[in-house]
Amino acid sequence: MKCRKCGEKASVNMRQHKLALCKDHYLEWIPEQTDRFIKKYQMFSPDERILVAVSGGKDSLSLWDILVRLGFHADGLYIGLGIDGGINYSNESQRLTEEFANQNNLKLHIVEIEREYGLSIPALSMQTQRGLGKPCAVCGLTKRHEMNRIARDLGYDVLATGHNLDDEAAVLFGNTLTWSADYLLRQGPVLPASDGLSRKVKPLCRFYEREMTAYALLRGINYIYEECPHAVGSTSIYYKEILNQIETARPGAKLTFYLRFLEARRSGELFVEPNLEAAHLHPCTNCGQLTSAPDLCTFCRMMEKVKPTPV
């Protein structure tokens, strides 16, 4: 497989885009695309101050790297959750985040939940019993709260997270299964500022997870490979597996699922009653069933093709 831009050996093949690129061109392509998405969804402008929520994983470290390469003013925020799980998950992810910030001379804010509130996430979860056993619900709630609080207190215009397409498609899948209209209406690349909360953006939401892994590896970014130990068996991982099966059989399905949703939401057609009159339906000239086609309905048009030709 050859790079489409220079003909050298390709390092990354993106079946869904029918595009293969060598290392150098891939490392150019990802920031170019990110910049395009930032402009398309009007995420932020070059004069705004951005706070990137960095977990030490490949997505958020790559996001920070990309924004800085694009020349944006982006500082980092790491939230210490106090999660152990054998590999000392929180300590290791903090170490890698600090290492990245130091190597690139970037400003990193660190908030320790235990220092701030007296309890780590697992302890907070035990005490409040939310999430019944698993601390994930308490964790998600706390992270959102802290990201909002720090962004507002430190006067950042925008809060950026590293959610990728796989994350967004899994959330969309879950919200669709339950038809959670209020969540669906709020899901998107940009959540506008409201009531003292900064605007929230997801500049990587159109990149597949494997594209972000490739970026981090080819850029030589040192990130934490392990998932949070509590994520094992979670619903979102289950949805991601199902979507991956669909994607394997139909390359591009995940991207289409997400982009068509954004388009339907933007146009308003998702949440309004369909107006049959406005759709200009009229009876098929052959069978009388309502159709939007000018004369024959789709069925009759098909049957026309299989009609024996008169002798």
Name the residues that contact ligand FES, by CB under 6 A: 81, 83, 135-136, 139, 228, 230-231
**Chosen residue from 3, 81, 169, 201 binding Zn ion by CB under 5 A:** 3
Contact between 110 and 253 (Cβ < 8 Å): no
Stretches 3-11, 19-27, 71-79, 297-305: which one binds ligand AMP (CB under 6 A)?
71-79
Site for ligand AMP in 144-183 (CB under 6 A): 161-163, 167
**Chosen residue from 1, 6, 237, 303 binding Zn ion by CB under 5 A:** 6
- For residue 33, give Cα distances in angstroms to 72, 74, 204, 206: 15, 18, 9, 9
Phi first, then psi, for residue 231 (nearest 5°) are -75, -20
Give all strands (DSSP E) within the chain, no chain letters. 12-14, 19-21, 49-53, 73-80, 108-112, 158-160, 190-191, 199-201, 282-283, 290-291
Q: Which helix (H) or strand (E) holds 142?
A: helix 136-153
Min dist CB 225 to ligand FES, Å, is 15
**Chosen residue from 14, 25, 43, 151 binding Zn ion by CB under 5 A:** 25
Evaluated on CA atoms 196, 263, 171, 45, the torsion sign reads: negative
How many of the other CB atoms lie within 10 Å of CB of 101? 20
Min dist CB 124 to ligand AMP, Å, is 14
Q: Which is nearer to ligand AMP, 137 or 290 (CB)?
A: 137
How many of the other CB atoms lie within 10 Å of CB of 33? 17
Q: Which is nearer to Zn ion, 5 or 134 (CB)?
A: 5
Q: Which does 136 bind (CB under 5 to 8 A by kind): ligand AMP, Zn ion, ligand FES, none?
A: ligand FES
Q: Which is nearer to ligand AMP, 29 or 89 (CB)?
A: 89
Residue 19 burial by Cβ neighbours in a 10 Å radius (0-12, 13-18, 19+): middle
Site for ligand AMP in 41-70 (CB under 6 A): 53-55, 59-60
Q: Which is nearer to ligand FES, 80 or 135 (CB)?
A: 135
Q: Which does 78 bind (CB under 5 to 8 A by kind): Zn ion, ligand AMP, ligand FES, none?
A: ligand AMP
Interatomic CA distance for residues 297 and 205, integer angstroms: 39
Q: 49 has which bridge partners?
A: 73
Min dist CB 271 to ligand AMP, Å, is 26
Min dist CB 102 to ligand AMP, Å, is 17
237 DSSP 8-state letter? H
Query: Given the rule CB under 6 A, which residues bind ligand AMP?
Result: 53-55, 59-60, 77-79, 81, 143, 161-163, 167
